[in-house]
Structure 1
């Protein structure tokens, strides 16, 4: 009995098909993309002064285009929101 030798061979695993490879790598890249999205939400991004200047320039341009009546309406809406916040 001790002289008997058992030859165990590993099970035969078929080569992955093209669809299985696409699925595997697609899931991998999807997981990496999700991690990047979560990190983008968690980690703060500092704004450059140039970006602030561009956004303020566009706001002043939009304010110049609007008529005075709409600015008065906006002021009344802001006053209403502030009074609701105080409650």
Structure 2
């Protein structure tokens, strides 16, 4: 009975070049996504501190005025409705 059982590992073909390329591409894509997610999360917490610091600087120096172009508000012309016949 023990002669009938084959306990050798199954034959697994070596990965082709395309399979290796695909595997490493997926790893690089996952790392890139993690970097992008961290880039979104980390600066947002620092920007609040910078906003608070800039507000404190503005309250200390009230004589300085910020000159900037005021955004122009454009209103779309109203479309004339067609008369019902």
Instruction: Name whichever structure is richer in helix by fraction.
Output: 1
- State the TM-score, normalized to the length of structure 1: 0.48
- State the TM-score, normalized to the length of structure 2: 0.49
